[in-house]
Structure 1
């Protein structure tokens, strides 16, 4: 099967899953009614219009943006470190975002803050998460300026993440039960908190990160053969490294700020793309990874929507249930060694 046919089939599946994602939930809406609404025919019930337009479409668009951002970030990190288990969170950016939210949620009593109250609480979480992610990204940028070896930089990123997680653990230990519950719910991941007003900002961040990747993608194939080979091909390795770190920071930090940490998409989907498209050419892998990221996250979000139930499963639980078996299966088949 040619790449073009695979892309066509994947895009058709995206459309089908998108319709299913909007259709299923605590109140099921027939797909036929959705298709008629797209054609301009009003819904037979006014409540369906509110559910679809104000909640489910923004949620599905958020899933699409998150699928693109996390899967592309994961592919970048696996290429950059030439490590099959690298993902978008190895730079510690997600842990930094978590630290920002933990300080907001669990250090509030000590500082007398009135947190998570009124209409500003969601934006407070976004700002705190963004501040934490940007802080770690700046530290990683300084580390990249001093550290030339990629594997050493990987260790530095993991140490930043571990340090942030240690502070979060201490805050959790001393926090009140209600504050800890708020942070725990955030850490489970949620695609449904983003409305139309937040989507503009999130889309802008993802567009910036993806654009940086698009203009650099031709140089990524040389990265698989090492720094020395990339330099021999005339590639400015230091500049490329900065682009990969900053774009990953923007993509990962943006999604974590608006949706919380979402596990395994960034690690599993790039391997799924290599498996299905049977190539290491990043000009094919990047669009393939982005489309499969959309597919997987839409599928996971659809599975989390149990028809007839008022609440949905935590998205992190569903993505982990998908990602962990895939990674184990790939390890057993030893496909990792073929890709790197």
Structure 2
């Protein structure tokens, strides 16, 4: 029976991976606070975080009101999308599965579009007045949309065994949801259309502390469920029959995986827009860093690596010293495309997962 092992021959290197990743995360987080339209010295950033007065008081507002919430959002988004992609790749036994590729992000986008584009003026006013309740409504709508598409793909995956066919169907579902959104856009006001289109570009900016009080516990809940699913996911890698022989209820595992992946992808999509490629690329990077398919190692590894790459993407989306900001999806596509291309070219020489 095939076992889940770390294949790295040098255990010292293996034991250093997590500390290196954590240091990398701290460094990327601080740099994301330092660089922007106004560059702030790193020692001043640290002083502000420690509650001390900086050289310029305006720097305190920039860090605490804008950059710190943005960096925290990027950290949560990268971790959530990476873990969501890992779960779907295991569930579908498909190396190219991910929130964006299989149409999950499109389903979440449809949920948000139905709320944003079809709400009446009175409803829009109530959502603004309700504040946190309105934000939670967007998360619920996005999660329901993501879960609906993921559930359909799960049913289809039992009847379609070919990987490429499944990916094509996922793209078709994505096109279908995009078509519905396009129809909704035709009947919406110019202001709502503009707001929705800006949202589709993706961004970690603009998230307030109030919104983080909703986003943070939702993401932590989804990550907690993913951690608790580590052993069942390992069992699924070895086949459903083997999983049942270990006492794992496959149907319950699928349900919890769908719930966790939908919450993670849906919440991030609701607040940050549909972020492409991170969910596909990050799990593959971690498998090659840790040389393992053990989810007890991969889930925390993917969460940290995802946070690092999301912070790097946020850094590259900014013109340092300028007010200009590039669409986040353009940067994640440039970062993720080489990894996805490498996976496709590598599939003929190595099976997935092992």
- Regarding TM over 0.5, the answer is yes
Give distance in 2, aligned partners of 1:219 and 1:139.
Answer: 23
Give the counterpart of 1:27 among 15, 32, 38: 38
> Residue in 2 aligned with 1:12?
23
CA gap 1:132/1:56 in 2 versus in 1, 3 angstroms: closer
CA gap 1:231/1:11 in 2 versus in 1, 3 angstroms: same
Matches within 5 A, 1:126-275: 127-128=137-138, 130-135=140-145, 137=147, 149=158, 161-175=174-188, 177-275=190-288
TM-score with structure 1 setting the length: 0.87
* SS at 2:53 equivalent: coil
Give distance in 1, aligned partners of 2:44 and 2:219.
Answer: 31
Aligned residues: 337
CA gap 1:13/1:167 in 2 versus in 1, 3 angstroms: same
Give the counterpart of 1:290 among 288, 295, 303: 303
> Residue in 1 aligned with 2:4?
none
CA gap 1:311/1:129 in 2 versus in 1, 3 angstroms: farther
Displacement after TM superposition at 1:241 (Å): 0.7
Displacement after TM superposition at 1:196 (Å): 1.0
Displacement after TM superposition at 1:95 (Å): 2.2
* SS at 1:337 equivalent: coil
CA gap 1:118/1:47 in 2 versus in 1, 3 angstroms: farther
Displacement after TM superposition at 1:139 (Å): 7.5
Give distance in 2, aligned partners of 1:336 and 1:253.
Answer: 34
Which stretch has the larger CA shift, 93-102 or 9-18? 93-102
Give distance in 2, aligned partners of 1:46 and 1:150.
Answer: 61
CA gap 1:307/1:244 in 2 versus in 1, 3 angstroms: same
TM-score with structure 2 setting the length: 0.84
Q: Over aligned residues, Cα RMSD in angstroms?
A: 3.1
CA shift digits 1:241-264 (9 cap, x unpaired): 111000111111111111111111
Displacement after TM superposition at 1:181 (Å): 2.4
* Conserved 8 A contact 1:273-1:288: yes
Q: Which runs of 5+ in 2 are unaligned?
A: 1-9
Give distance in 2, aligned partners of 1:94 and 1:227.
Answer: 27
* Conserved 8 A contact 1:11-1:291: yes
Q: Which runs of 5+ in 1 are unaligned?
A: none
CA shift digits 1:177-224 (9 cap, x unpaired): 543322111111111121111111111111111111111201212212
CA gap 1:37/1:135 in 2 versus in 1, 3 angstroms: closer
1:69 aligns with 2:83: no
CA gap 1:38/1:107 in 2 versus in 1, 3 angstroms: closer
1:47 aligns with 2:58: yes
Which stretch has the larger CA shift, 234-243 or 34-43? 34-43
Give distance in 2, aligned partners of 1:29 and 1:335.
Answer: 48
CA shift digits 1:88-131 (9 cap, x unpaired): 346654323322333344446xx666858995598757634632
* Conserved 8 A contact 1:71-1:267: yes
1:100 aligns with 2:111: yes
